[in-house]
Amino acid sequence: MAIKRILEPEVMDSVEDARDYNAMDHAEVNRLFVDDLLAAGFAGGDVLDLGTGTALIPIELCRRVKNCRVMAVDAAVNMLDLARFNIEAAGLIESIELQQVDAKNMGYAAGMFDAVMSNSIVHHIPDPVECLREAVRVTRPGGLLFFRDLLRPAGEQELQQLVKTYAGKENEHSQQLFAESLHAALTLQEIRELIQSLGFAADDVVQNSDRHWTWAAARPQ
C-alpha cells in the first residue's frame, strides 16, 4: 500500500522553480530516457514533448538523432524562457520549437506527430487520463507513445531515502520539489489502470528503476 497521493501545483511557474529545476543534475536521467526511447523504436520524425520543462531532453535527443524535429511544450512560461536559452546555447533552434500549451487540451490535429514523449508530466496532472488521451489523439496511427514518470513510494521512510539518494546534493528547495513530486506520483497499478482504460495493455507499463515507470506503446493502426 503506497502513501496517499498529495497533489502538487500543476504548473511549476515561479522563477525559483524553473531556475532550481534547470540547475539540478538531470544528465544521466535524460541520457537514459533517450537511450530507452531509441530502444523502443524511435528512428526520427516529428516529435511532441509534453511538459518539456527547460527542454533538456529534446536537446539530448536532437544531438543524437539528426532527422527529428521536436515541438517542445509546457504550460509554464518561466520554464520555457530557460528552455529557449538552453536551445539557443545548444545551437538547435532549427530543430526544436517551443510553445506554451495545456497538455490536457491541445490544439494540434489528430495524428499530427510521429511520436509523443514525456518525462514527468503525469504526476503534475490531477486527472492524468486527460493528458494521456490527448497524447494518443495527436499521435499518428502506428506512431510511438513514450512516457516516463515517478512512482509513489510505499511509505514516508522510502520517500525520504529516495530524496536523500537522488537529490541529497541539491539545495533545500530542489529537495522539497523532488519530495513533492514523489508524493504526487502514481503507483504502478494506478498508471496501468489508466492505460488500460485507453485500450492499451497493462503490461505496456513497466517499472524500470526504484523510482520510475515507463509506458512505451504504438498507437493502434
Look at residue 221 in the predicted model and tell me its pLDDT.
86
Look at residue 1 in the predicted model and tell me its pLDDT.
67
Distances (CA, A) of 125 to 27, 41, 103, 159, 218: 24, 27, 9, 20, 23
Positions in the chain whose pLDDT score sits under 50 = none
| Predicted confidence (pLDDT) per residue in 37-52, tens digit | 999 999 999 999 999 9
Look at residue 16 in the predicted model and tell me its pLDDT.
78
Look at residue 2 in the predicted model and tell me its pLDDT.
78
Look at residue 137 in the predicted model and tell me its pLDDT.
98
- d(CA 88, CA 50) in angstroms, rounded, equals 20
Look at residue 219 in the predicted model and tell me its pLDDT.
97
What proportions of the chain, in percent to the nearest 5, are helix, strand and coil? 45, 20, 35
Look at residue 56 in the predicted model and tell me its pLDDT.
96
- Domain 15-218 maps to which CATH number in 3.40.718.10, 3.40.50.1970, 3.40.190.10, 3.40.50.150? 3.40.50.150
- d(CA 165, CA 171) in angstroms, rounded, equals 13
Assessment of whether the complete model's pTM goes beyond 0.75: yes
Look at residue 103 in the predicted model and tell me its pLDDT.
96
Q: Per-domain residue ranges for the chain?
A: 15-218
